[in-house]
Amino acid sequence: MTNIRFSVVELSFQLLSISSFFASYSENTSMKETLENTDELIKEFEAKIDAEIKIEPRDWMPEDYRKHLIRQITQHAHSEVIGMQPEGNWISRAPSLRAKKILLAKIQDEGGHGLYLYSAAETLGVSRDQFIQWLHEGKAKYASVFNYPALNWADMGAIGWLVDGAAITNQVSLQRTSYGPYSRAMVRICKEESFHQRQGYEIMWKMMKGTKDQQRMAQDAINRWWWPALMMFGPHDTDSPRTGNAVKWKIKRETNDRLREKFINKTIPQAELIGLKVPDENIQIIGQDQMGENIYKHSDINWDEFWAVVNGDGPCNEQRLNHHIRAHNEGAWVRECAMKYYEKTKK
Ligand code: FAQ
């Protein structure tokens, strides 16, 4: 009897160990299969990147690629929307009806750019409410340049010419970014942004043809906006932790320094053409590119100022964020009405 009982216990132990052997075997096998599967998926993803085939929302993508895109696209969207504030202040004080209409249309475009970009980011599986919450909690960044004040009408010229000019230099290269919805949003945004750049340049050109006071105002505006515009391209490549992956995955098609150089080389001749001077005593021509355009040597950026502004300590950071929070809260009823209307009409 004891023997029989012993064998039953032994048998059940053996069965248990056999079943746990099979369980762990099948677990290992499925883990192996999953790993092999992931390896395959990574290979497929990388092959598409190499072949310049866009990654689309339903395609498999590495989690880090998805997170990188959510961060960059939402930062970009927030920049467009917060960027409406410095100019919005001047709509009611534009010097003519023509100037007012153009400025109004331009600011409205920037709001639209924000919306295309939020939509592109939403295809990555995070809601717009979440993006806004991250912005309000200070967890999401936006372009540092919008934390400087717009003091007079000449600043409308400097923002359009320099800030939109810097933005478009970057965005032209982002049209070739590897994520389909981001790339397509960029194509449309670039078309509109090039008008913005001309609108700003026209204001500066007009002021430079005006009185001595107007010329002084234009020069003062370029003095104040030149360096913040150069900072828009981000830290030097050697200090840019995100560039490695961004270039590998073809999210960024050119590096921060390369884009900044392009902007400097194209903007200095534009300034000189209308009699303006960039506020840098060390500017000097050091050669020509393949197109015969001058290449300039220039002073370095004040990186302490850059990081202070990025980290919330610029002249207008608090004002910009508080304004956005207030406008968002005051607009809650509009969102509620839109939702109710949607629910009513979808039946
Ligand atoms: N401001 O490693 P990296 C416009 C942050 S649209 C604030 O080099 P990454 C239209 C960066 O996020 C202008 N933060 O990073 C308009 C990162 O922080 P995190 C917006 C900055 O991403 C015109 C950290 O520093 N355009 O203006 C800035 O590879 C007129 C380390 O930097 C875009 O967003 C900065 N300037 O390169 C509207 C274009 N620079 O996230 C109204 C798309 C760097 O690790 C009126 N974005 N940081 O905590 C990009 O191309 C890139 O994201 C860069 C930064 C180039 C901005």
Pocket test for ligand 1, best of 69, 70, 78, 79 (most atoms within 8 A of CB): 79
Name the strand (E) or helix (H) holding 268: helix 256-273
Q: Which of 240, 251, 301 to mutate to test the pocket of ligand 1 (most atoms within 8 A of CB)?
A: 240
Whose CA is closest to atom 20 on ligand 1?
A: 76
pLDDT at 281 over 90: yes
Has residue 238 been placed in a domain?
A: yes
* Residue 231 domain-assigned (yes or no): yes
pLDDT at residue 254, as a whole number: 97
DSSP SS3 for 233: coil
pLDDT of residue 292: 86
Say how many Å lie between the CA of residue 230 and the centre of ligand 1.
12
pLDDT in tens, 138-163: 999 999 999 999 999 999 999 999 99
Domain CATH number, residue 189: 1.20.1260.10
CB of residue 177 inside a 6 A radius of ligand 1? no
What's 145's DSSP letter?
Answer: G
- Nearest residue (CA) to ligand 1, atom 28: 234
Query: What's the half-sphere exposure (Cβ side, CA atoms, 13 Å) at 62?
Result: 17
pLDDT greater than 60 at residue 6: no
Q: Which residue has the higher pLDDT, 86 or 293?
A: 86
In a domain, 293, yes or no: yes
Mutate to test the pocket of ligand 1, among 72, 142, 198 (most ligand atoms within 8 A of CB): 72
Mean pLDDT of the chain: 92
> Ligand 1, closest atom to CA 241?
2
164 lines ligand 1 (CB under 6 A): yes
- Residues 18-77 pLDDT 10s: 444 445 545 555 666 676 788 999 999 999 999 999 999 999 999 999 999 999 999 999
Of the candidates 47, 79, 101, which has an alpha carbon nearest to the alpha carbon of residue 234? 79
Q: Is residue 179 part of a domain?
A: yes
State whether the beta carbon of 194 lies less than 6 angstroms from ligand 1: no
Do 261 and 295 form a contact (C-beta atoms < 8 A)? yes
pLDDT at 2: 42
Asked if the structure places residue 44 within a domain, the reply is no
Q: Which domain holds residue 301?
A: 50-346
Cα-based angle 14, 18, 21 (whole degrees, multiple of 5): 140
CA-73 nearest atom, ligand 1:
43
What is the CA(143)–ligand 1 centre distance, in A? 5
Q: What are phi and psi of 46, to 5 degrees?
A: -65, -35
Give the residue whose CA is nearest to atom 34 of ligand 1.
76
38 located within any domain: no
Residue 75, ligand 1, Cβ within 6 A: yes
**CA–CA dist 320, 161 (Å, integer):** 22
Is the minimum distance from the CB of 240 to ligand 1 under 6 angstroms? yes
Interval 302-315: pLDDT, tens: 999 999 999 999 99
pLDDT digits (tens, 9 = 90+) for 218-236: 999 999 999 999 999 999 9
Q: Is residue 239 a part of any domain in this protein?
A: yes
How far does residue 38's CA lie from ligand 1's centre (Å)? Answer: 31
Q: What is the pTM of this model?
A: 0.90
Residue 118: exposure state from Cβ atoms within 10 A (0-12, 13-18, ≥19): buried
For 120, the token pair is: 């592109």
Closest ligand 1 atom, residue 171 Cα: 39
Q: Whose CA is nearest to atom 11 of ligand 1?
A: 234
Ligand 1, atom 55, lies closest to the CA of: 234
Give 73 Cα–ligand 1 centroid separation in angstroms: 9
Whether 217 is in a domain gets the answer yes
Total number of domains in the chain: 1
Ligand 1 centre and the CA of 163: distance in Å?
13
Least Cα distance to 78 among 125, 133, 155, 157 occurs for 133
Smallest CA separation from ligand 1 atom 39, residue = 76
